[in-house]
Structure 1
Amino acid sequence: MDQAQAAAKPYMVLARKYRPQSFEDLIGQEAMVRTLRNAFASGRIAQAYMLTGVRGVGKTTTARIVARALNYETDTVTAPTFDMPVLGKHCAEIIESRHPDVIEMDAASNTGVDNIRELIESARYKPIIARTKVFIIDEVHMLSKGAFNALLKTLEEPPEHVKFIFATTEIRKVPVTVLSRTQRFDLRRVDVPELSAHFTGIVAKEGATAEPDALGLISRAAEGSVRDGLSLLDQAIAMGQGNVGVEAVRAMLGLADRGRIFDLLEHVFRGDAKAALLALDDMHRDGADPVQLVADLAEAVHTATRIKAVGADAGSDGLSAEERRRAAALAERLSTPLLSRAWQMLLQGGDEVGRAANPRAAAEMLLIRLAYTADLPSPDELIRMLGGEGALARSSRSAAPAGSAPSRDAPLNSAAMPPRSEPFTPTAREILEPSSASSAHVDHAPAPARAPLSPADRLIPFEDDGGFSDDDGFDAEYDASLNALMDDQNAAPAVAPAADPRSFEDVIALIGERRDMMLKMNLEDRVSLVKFDANTGAIDLFLLPGAPPQIANELREKLNAWTGRKWVVVLSREKGARPVGEVNREREAVEIEALKSHPAVKAMFGHFPDAKISSIRPLPRSEQNKSRTG
């Protein structure tokens, strides 16, 4: 009779069958569990909790466990408790969501004020059989504005016998007035190793078998969601008739073999479009989805880039030892600019493949683009071709630590790559803007004629700081052209910013360091400096059109606070020096025009006629010394 009843009992999916029933069963939420344990032990139980996180991490399950703990009752336990070794009098009904004093409400289908009014009216009455009446509102962000407002007063001062537990995946849509009345817990995604270990235990309880790598694939596909992972595991067990294998899981998920993904990447980075397309054909015949394949390629590039930036131990915990080895090999042989370029192309190409009428054709075109650009020179290679080898050599020596690998590597098997049959006409513009603006400043006094910049003070803002200095080709011809254009310009040497400003330029630099960009912009372009006395702390300004009238008070208060001394900032009726920003821009324009006359720069513009030199910045003194002694 029991066997017949068991056979007639409907099948329960794994996500419901193995739903946690106590705090000990929750995985990946140690911080929340520890906080609740201490709260129950000390009696500091909040009147309302807000549980937020992505789908499937256990928000509703946690709400039911908290409701069970609040109403846990046995022959020996009559108060709320965290430890629940056995089922109490109310536990089974609460777990199965059929207890009369634990009311679960789906806010997605009960969004109005009338629904909340019914809830508030019910909260006035004491529990029927349990100790505490618990209201669990799922997807609480779906409530209307009026419903939230109707709930506020009861939520702030609920009856002693009432507790609220809210769950949401969109915490930003919940009003701040509600959040301030609740104790918030952010349930995090469960890590891949933790999910894999959890699934291993469930497979054993189900009497099935599974390969560890197959469970790793399922855990990665779940993206931190326990429920999604259990649904995939349920499907994989059914597909393999109790045996979860790697190939079956790959076919089920539309994934390509990770080893074949790295093989495909190596074809692409060698510039071998034919081999890449053949590899794509093979994986497509084996069931790989083009959209997922592009995503896997992007993930592999990200892993290699992360390893290159952080180190060999920086790969994802979900990678096997072989996958980690292949990613480290890519990181060792490829440069960061090349990996970054591939990542950007895959990111944009993935959207194109997903929107295309023929995803496979779109994926093939993406691989062809990647293969073609793989052997295009990076910016440092281009500079070498144009005569900047010395500067790059010194930059590499100063940037790389002793005993480390070079910072730039050629494409895979670059020595064996055939030369191009057509002239080199790269399409990418890889002259990049510098990371910071020019650090030159202007003085407050009528500016004297500016002395020419020393050769070591100039740098073209190419990537990796691989600029040119006089030691590497900036000869007398450049200095002559620069000095001729600078004869009629008024400027002053750069002043290093200091904690206690000694000039108006120091004041502007200090404001920039404090990230007050609006005040910095106004001082650069909308005021004229009449007087600056660092000894007495006196500053006289003339306001130009567009300057805020309160700028003097604002500058005085901030300088007093930042420097710890008293400043006096007053407004003058007479105009003084030209605006600092105007002088800086004119000087930079002159330097850029002079720079364009250098042969190496002319050659650069010959290859890239649409390129621009955005700015020039002085080399730090430490770099100047390295360039002279390198």
Structure 2
Amino acid sequence: VLRDLAEITHWISVIKITPEAAEDPTVSPDERTRGQAMAAALPMRVMTRMWQMLLKALEEVAMAPNAMMAAEMAIIRLTHVADLPTPGELVKKLQDTTPPPAPTPAPGGGQGGPAAAPTGGGGASLRSAPSKPSGGAPTALAVAQPAQDPLERYARFEDVVELIRTMRDVKLLVEVETGIRLVSYTPGRIEFQPTDKAPHDLAQRLGQRLQGWTGARWAVTLVNEGGAATVAEVRDADQLALEQEALEHPLVKAVLETFPGAKITKITTPKEIEETAAAEALPEVADEWDPFEDE
């Protein structure tokens, strides 16, 4: 049923744009007449909304554990939406109900408009209220928002390494992890001692890449001493510590004793498992407009 509705919606939309499509010889005269009448009566925005809801309904039917229930709920939504205004009609209605702006008071002056006439008995008179300065409605003061620093996200050198990894520049990532002994770091400024493996133009290329990715200027300079361990050396040391810790585990000891030729090839930490699961998880789909939300 939903596929038939989708085909009819598409056919009527095509007729609305190209009336000659109704002259298809495979369409009966009765269907042609009704299709032309519906194309003339239904606006394109209604047909577009119908098409989008039918596509969403077909996806739900394909994924639902009970296709019949999903199809029934889709039909219920379609019939309910038929009585609701389109987003364009809602916007027009809101614009029509917006109260008109207050009239601009006449500018005050020594020889302005006529004075208010006395009313009632007892000699009481109405005094004209002091007018506002000319210029119409008061101007709203715009509050300037402080501009966000593009380097604020890179508070640590590890954030820079993660940026390179995210941008998938494998060559630069390997060079940074093995060729940089960090001396000092502040967002936008990197000072390092190069290793023997570091290319001679590493500082220049690193600064250019970071500037292109962040939109801010980076100063990358070289020094001859004072550098710390490289990222790769720290990672290798951590891996060695993990292997040593694993060797001390009773279960691992038992396996190695039972199978003399066995060895540890890879260690995955709980944090790495969580990061992998988060990276492989399906992205969340934003909820689309549901006509039942207004009830």
Shorter-normalised TM-score: what interval? 0.3 to 0.5
Q: Which has the larger radius of gyration?
A: 2
Give me the TM-score of the superposition, normalised by structure 1: 0.19
